[in-house]
Structure 1
């Protein structure tokens, strides 16, 4: 089967969208979401995105990106990849990936990963139900190193207000409120201390209407935050959330989480997605969240 590979052009988008929708058949990929994944990646580079063509028909798509110097490591990523079902097993994915890997090796990337791109990601790894993607990872020499999960919350099963806890926090001089434009610089400075990689997502949550961020202030200073609508447009995406280490255990996180879930409910969503979860017990206990999907994480050391 003959095909050619070239770099992605903006005019390719209308063919890429249905290709991704068919390849990611377990997920919802709308036009706005795909544009966000491509063009709103903070380090988007057109030269790291390839398409495979059978004459004028696009039959393959691979988007790469990189994040340099994350705690001293340079990471490269296959952010999204799709191949037309009728054209699989023709080395299309391999050929596109090898172009990406060659380029990123030249840039001194240390480690390649699949999917779990900080700041702007579609999924935090590979859902094993996408078995061809697992096979691709193995063939390309990637090693599975960790699992993670997305949780699902039923937003209609309860009222997300917690006035009793809010009053208890007030007694401790802690005020919970929606973030305002005037809070933005202080919030970004606060996030930089421990959650620098989340600053971009907070920027995105600031674009929601109303602002998709709630904060907790102790004596007027921000000490915790919780956000939604910071990733994956059109989906009820929760996070990120963070609390100053010295103030954990006071219940601020729960109240901020509830504020965000109430926002998502008000928008009209029936469920909320809590992605890339570490503390499953926290969310299960406070929201009744259940594990909806599992993701296997893969990496390959280059240098």
Structure 2
């Protein structure tokens, strides 16, 4: 068994709320953007993955920390955290965070239901400084868009699937290179255009099984493009075998609630501490 397979096995056993996708998350974290400095420490009892921020090299991220259930409560989590912090210090990091490192991340922070992880962070001197949340979309709901596609076509707007390369270029121009990476690495991607100009896009699967990111160009707001692209992606996730989809790191609660009846559900605490 390779070290990555060992890490996946440990994550699947330890991360009870994410067991179905834990292996995919480990593999995604092990294939980040080419400019990311990162490391992993993998033993038979646990795994930790850490990285240096590509926005601020003084900041480091604890991307994944998992201890196999048979070894929990014996100090192995703290040992792995210490190893990650040592590597971060050696790479010039002065502040470590339990916070997702976009664009390639597992979670926004520590899911509040992983109480042992939150306790470990607090015992190690991390302070809780922010909160993030996901919304859950029930994929058995109505996700039809036929009437919307007719309406958009009457306004000269067409909707397409795929186009990863040109959508990634659009996302980088309009927003940032992080969204561009997620668009390029998405499992599913839909975009709208008019007269050859992209107006908006939506993606899913860059973070395994989750929806996002999604964006509409300022000049195209008010056309209802976002709702259509969202529904197309969620329908694709349903066709891939999912019954629910997580909308990650949500900002506009009202939009997702009205568009697909999504509900706020998973809550994440973000932690940080200065490394002495």
State yes or no: 1:286 paired with 2:262: no
Give 1:42-61 correspondences, 5 Å limit: 42=33, 48-52=39-43, 58-61=44-47
Alignment partner, residue 28 of structure 1: 19
Distance 1:166 1:130 in 2: 42
The structure 2 residue matched to 1:270, chosen from 236, 243, 246, is 243
**1:113 and 1:300 in contact (8 A); partners too:** yes
1:94–1:217: structure 2 CA closer, same or farther, 3 Å change rule? same
Distance 1:16 1:105 in 2: 23
State yes or no: 1:67 paired with 2:53: yes
Between structure 1 and structure 2, the one with the greater Rg is 1
Deviation digits for residues 215-257 of structure 1 (CA, Å, limit 9, x no counterpart) = 111321112100112222xx3x211111112322321111111
**2:13 and 2:19 in contact (8 A); partners too:** no
1:42–1:220: structure 2 CA closer, same or farther, 3 Å change rule? same
State yes or no: 1:214 paired with 2:172: no
Q: SS state of the match for residue 53, structure 2?
A: strand
Distance 2:38 2:57 in 1: 22
The structure 1 residue matched to 2:205, chosen from 193, 207, 229, is 229
Alignment partner, residue 187 of structure 1: 167
State yes or no: 1:201 paired with 2:182: yes
Deviates more, 1:102-111 or 1:266-275: 102-111
Deviation digits for residues 141-197 of structure 1 (CA, Å, limit 9, x no counterpart) = 222222122221122221x2223332332333322221336xx2x322221131321
1:142–1:96: structure 2 CA closer, same or farther, 3 Å change rule? same
1:251–1:111: structure 2 CA closer, same or farther, 3 Å change rule? farther
Matched residues, number = 275
1:51–1:295: structure 2 CA closer, same or farther, 3 Å change rule? same
Give 1:67-216 correspondences, 5 Å limit: 67-68=53-54, 70=55, 72=56, 74-158=58-142, 160-180=143-163, 184=165, 186-193=166-173, 194-205=175-186, 208=187, 212-216=188-192
RMSD: 2.6
Give 1:238-277 correspondences, 5 Å limit: 238-277=211-250
**TM-score (norm: length of structure 1):** 0.81
What stretches of structure 2 of length at least 5 have no aligned partner?
A: none
What stretches of structure 1 of length at least 5 have no aligned partner?
A: 1-9, 53-57
Q: Which ranges of 4 or more aligned residues in structure 1 deviate by more than 6 Å? A: 44-47
Deviates more, 1:94-103 or 1:283-292: 94-103
Deviates more, 1:135-144 or 1:264-273: 264-273
**1:20 and 1:29 in contact (8 A); partners too:** no
Distance 2:130 2:82 in 1: 24
**TM-score (norm: length of structure 2):** 0.88
Please report how far the alpha carbon of residue 115 of structure 1 lies from its aligned counterpart in structure 2 after TM superposition: 4.4
**1:43 and 1:66 in contact (8 A); partners too:** no
Alignment partner, residue 17 of structure 1: 8
**2:125 and 2:273 in contact (8 A); partners too:** yes
